[in-house]
Amino acid sequence: MEARKHRNTHQGAFILFCLFGFLFSLLFARFVQLEWTGKADGQTLAVIAERQHQQTRTIKAKRGTIFDRNGAILAEDVPSYTVVAILDPKMTTDPDHPHHVVDPKKTAEQLAPLLGMDVEAMERILTKKAKQVEFGAYGRNISFELKRKIEALHLPGIAFIRDTSRFYPNGMFASHVIGYAQKNAANETVGKMGVEKELDRYLREEDGYVSFAGDINGFRLPGGKERIVKPDNGANVYLTIDGKIQSFLEDAMNSVEKQYKPKKMIAIVADPKTGKILAMATRPSFDPNKRDITNFLNDAISYPYEPGSTMKVFTLAAAINEGVYNGNETYRSGSYKVGPNTIRDHNDVGWGTITFNEGVQRSSNVAFSILVKEKLGEDRFLQYLHRFHFDRKTGIDLPNEAVGQIRYRYPIERITTGFGQGTSVTPIQQIQAATAIANDGKMMKPYVIEKVVDPDSGKVVLDHGPTVVGEPITAETARKVRAILETVVTSEHGTGRPYQINGYRVAGKTGTAQIPSASGGYLTGRENYIFSFLGMAPTDDPKLLMYVAVQQPHLDVTETGAAPVSQIFTTVMKSSLQYLHIEPNGEKRMKAKTAQPQALDSWIGQPAASAAEQLKEKGYVPVVIGRGKYVEQQLPQGGDHVLLGERVVLKTDGAATMPDLRGFSLRDAMKVAHILGLRPSTKGTGYVVSQNIRPGAEVRKGDYLIVELAPPRQWEKEAAEKEKEAALRKEAEPHE
């Protein structure tokens, strides 16, 4: 029995010996094979070993900086930080110095206000079952200053990850030109709008790295190999935008936006000699740091619309260039038949028989209809539309440029195109075409990118310069057009009188563009237009060209659409000319001063008789209302800018009485209605010829005021006839 037990033990031991011997042989064979081939599962062991010891550190590159033409920074990469919260208690080794969030509620109460978060929302994040959390957009891209404020709280478990973010130091400043860039899912900064998008391939950076042999803790091993790949910084971009002129424009548009609350505003300032865009802005705008965007298109280049009467500039230029324009020739204004259609002047009845020069000053649609139909001819006019490039994009170096549409299929469309209806164009198309007027016939391509420069070598990798894209008219024609356009601003009949600038000669043309209705036809109402002005200065040798458009502003009852447009144009143009050291024209300085709007004094509380006398001495026309002795209200108000020669309504503290409105313009009649609180109703256009409330009668707030108006050349005659009729009726009445 015992012998059998020993025999089984020996057999078991032998089997184990054989098994272990076999396994050892396999292991030894594998060792020999690895030693002999240096590979395992097809991979080189030396490479794997090197990878395990190879350490890599990223060297961050910088996206290119965007500058204005004077070298001021408009967009740049700046250090930023992401706030993180460590929730894992295992990260704390010393309870006296915790490295994780110990008190979520206290942490949320102190940190949430700095990040602009709701306290309860942050507390929910801080109580998640996770090792580490972030706070979404609230905790990303925070500045160094905010990081220091958070660090000063000494909150356990709150840490930071260093990164870079795109920063726009001027906020809402040429935003649609500069655009914006943001990080994508791969943490790469990519341009999304404007120059940031257009030049993304130049601005984009590529990180470098350094690799070396290191130990398990990441420390460099002595004698290890090192490889460095330098970062490729993005190229720097220099724009034609002048920061100073852009600031003038932004400030003026902010002021008008606050006062008039328009639906849209567009403005462009250009150097007509080169095509450089010195300033460009639109409203609504946005802050690229916040990306609070409501309109992703730059309306200055992407919004085609019927331009209205600014288009008359190019119809006039075509007629002069073809030798068919005689400014002293007369025509009958008011209406003009084109087949079954009737074209009317903006006041419906016209101004009688006037010269073509006066027709330009008054912005007569009939005058320009005659020029297209009878003088130029429709085919020849179409050639000029092509010569001025209204049939194509300008090619400006910004994304998403649109192009208008020349509507020339029907006879009426061919005529209305001559005064800016039917056919649509973009603001930048008008600017490009107008450079031919301002630059003695040479039409310049507009551009905003001056150059792109490699920041490391200083080499210019992209360079833009002035480009002549056509010569639609001669230099002589351009000078003649500017001379006539100057009278639009200076003439007593000119629609451009609000655009006069103290000391400088201005040439330009106003525009009042109709807005198509979604239900067909056009919108109605005194505010439902795009009011615009295309002007240049100084007239004899324009240094600046400017287009301003304001869509659907909220106007006071006494104001016209020129009020917000002229506020932008005159402010920016004058400031820019002075900034560029363009000397005022001495010959015109005093004349311009008398025509320039002046700030009106406040006469409230002053004796009415004395106030009226002083207003007369200053060159205004006082209208005293009421039987009191002291001024209680005035319109325009103190501080408002008013042209000399305008009526100033003074309401006294006595009983309110109705003045004689005959001869008043509609605007002046509305001043009276507004200050008396009356409900106005008008019939006709032009100047007041009759009123339902007799002069001198007492009025109460809420009374109806009905006035009848007639064209300037008729109102005196009609007023005299009405006086005669009244006298005859009085004579016919029975005497007591």
Q: What is the CATH number of the domain that holds 713?
A: 3.30.10.20
Helix (H, G, I), strand (E, B) or coil at 403: coil
Closest CA to 702 of 693, 711, 712: 693
Q: Any idea which residues carry the catalytic annotation?
A: 309
Helix (H, G, I), strand (E, B) or coil at 212: strand
Any domain includes 1: no
pLDDT per residue over 681-711, tens digit each? Answer: 766 666 778 888 888 888 888 777 887 776 6
pLDDT in the model for residue 587: 42
pLDDT in the model for residue 208: 73
Residue 40 predicted with pLDDT over 70: no
Any domain includes 509: yes
Query: Are both 546 and 604 inside the same structural domain?
Result: no
Any domain includes 9: no
Neighbours of 520 (CB within 10 A): 6
pLDDT per residue over 291-341, tens digit each? Answer: 889 999 999 999 999 999 999 999 999 999 999 999 999 999 999 999 999
Instruction: Find tokens 């973010």 and name the residue.
Output: 165
Mean pLDDT of 727-734: 45
Element (H, E) at 259: helix 243-260
Q: Is the dihedral of CA 376, 379, 384, 385 positive or negative?
A: positive
* Residues in contact with 611: Cβ distance below 8 Å, sequence separation at least 6, in sequence order: 603, 622, 631, 650
Select from 550, 574, 595 the last residue of a domain: 595
Query: Are both 539 and 623 inside the same structural domain?
Result: no
Query: Are both 268 and 209 inside the same structural domain?
Result: no
Any domain includes 193: no
Query: Are both 315 and 230 inside the same structural domain?
Result: no
Neighbours of 665 (CB within 10 A): 16
Query: Are both 584 and 612 inside the same structural domain?
Result: no
Find the range with the poorest average confidence among 511-520, 556-565, 643-652.
643-652
Find the range with the poorest average confidence among 272-276, 377-381, 518-522.
518-522
Query: Are both 263 and 214 inside the same structural domain?
Result: no
pLDDT in the model for residue 260: 96
Burial (Cβ within 10 Å: 0-12, 13-18, ≥19) of residue 458? exposed
Any domain includes 5: no
pLDDT in the model for residue 36: 59
| Confidence label for 713 from pLDDT (cuts 50, 70 and 90) | very low
- 271: domain CATH number? 3.40.710.10
| Distance separating alpha carbons of residues 641 and 632, to the nearest angstrom | 20
Q: Are 599 and 297 in contact (CB under 8 A)?
A: no
The alpha carbons of the chain give a radius of gyration, in whole angstroms, of: 38
* Residues in contact with 546: Cβ distance below 8 Å, sequence separation at least 6, in sequence order: 267, 268, 269, 270, 533, 534, 535, 536, 569, 572, 573
Residue 223 predicted with pLDDT over 90: no
Question: Six-digit token pair at 481?
Answer: 């057009």
- Pick 714 or 105 by higher pLDDT: 105
Task: Spell out the alpha helix ranges (H) of 279-339.
Answer: 299-302, 312-321
Find the range with the poorest average confidence among 148-162, 174-188, 209-223, 290-304.
209-223
Element (H, E) at 121: helix 119-126
Query: Are both 208 and 334 inside the same structural domain?
Result: no
**How far from the centroid of its chain's Cα atoms is residue 639's Cα?**
28
pLDDT in the model for residue 225: 64
136: left (phi over 0), alpha (psi -120 to 50) or beta: left
pLDDT in the model for residue 19: 73
* Residues in contact with 252: Cβ distance below 8 Å, sequence separation at least 6, in sequence order: 567, 568, 571, 572
| Distance separating alpha carbons of residues 502 and 575, to the nearest angstrom | 11
| Confidence label for 432 from pLDDT (cuts 50, 70 and 90) | very high
User: What's the total number of domains in the chain?
Assistant: 3
Any domain includes 8: no
Closest CA to 352 of 688, 669, 715, 682: 715
| Confidence label for 591 from pLDDT (cuts 50, 70 and 90) | very low
Residue 12 predicted with pLDDT over 90: no
Any domain includes 41: no
pLDDT in the model for residue 730: 44
- 208: domain CATH number? 3.30.70.2110
| Distance separating alpha carbons of residues 635 and 675, to the nearest angstrom | 7
Any domain includes 708: yes
Query: Are both 485 and 411 inside the same structural domain?
Result: yes
Residue 580 predicted with pLDDT over 50: yes
DSSP assignment letter at 390: T
pLDDT per residue over 601-635, tens digit each? Answer: 888 888 888 888 888 877 788 888 888 888 888 88
Residue 37 predicted with pLDDT over 70: no
- Pick 389 or 228 by higher pLDDT: 389
Residue 669 predicted with pLDDT over 50: yes
Residue 17 predicted with pLDDT over 80: no
Query: Are both 217 and 264 inside the same structural domain?
Result: no
Mean pLDDT of the residues in the chain: 86
Residue 716 predicted with pLDDT over 80: no
| Distance separating alpha carbons of residues 16 and 693, to the nearest angstrom | 128
Closest CA to 281 of 297, 292, 295, 265: 265
pLDDT per residue over 462-475, tens digit each? Answer: 999 999 999 999 99
Question: Six-digit token pair at 683?
Answer: 């019939």
pLDDT per residue over 290-302, tens digit each? Answer: 888 999 999 999 9
Helix (H, G, I), strand (E, B) or coil at 434: helix
Query: Are both 458 and 336 inside the same structural domain?
Result: yes
pLDDT in the model for residue 631: 87
548: Cα within 13 Å, side-chain hemisphere: 28
pLDDT per residue over 344-398, tens digit each? Answer: 999 999 999 999 999 999 999 999 999 999 999 999 999 999 999 999 999 999 9
Neighbours of 132 (CB within 10 A): 14
pLDDT in the model for residue 721: 53
- Pick 669 or 729 by higher pLDDT: 669
Closest CA to 536 of 310, 301, 203: 310
pLDDT in the model for residue 736: 33
Select from 595, 630, 657 the last residue of a domain: 595
Q: How far is CA 426 from CA 256, 264, 307, 337, 527, in A?
A: 22, 14, 8, 29, 21
96: left (phi over 0), alpha (psi -120 to 50) or beta: alpha
Query: Are both 451 and 463 inside the same structural domain?
Result: yes
Select from 543, 561, 595 the last residue of a domain: 595
The structure's pTM equals 0.72
Query: Are both 502 and 529 inside the same structural domain?
Result: yes
| Distance separating alpha carbons of residues 195 and 203, to the nearest angstrom | 9
Mean pLDDT of 70-94: 90
Domain hosting 155: range is 58-168+201-239
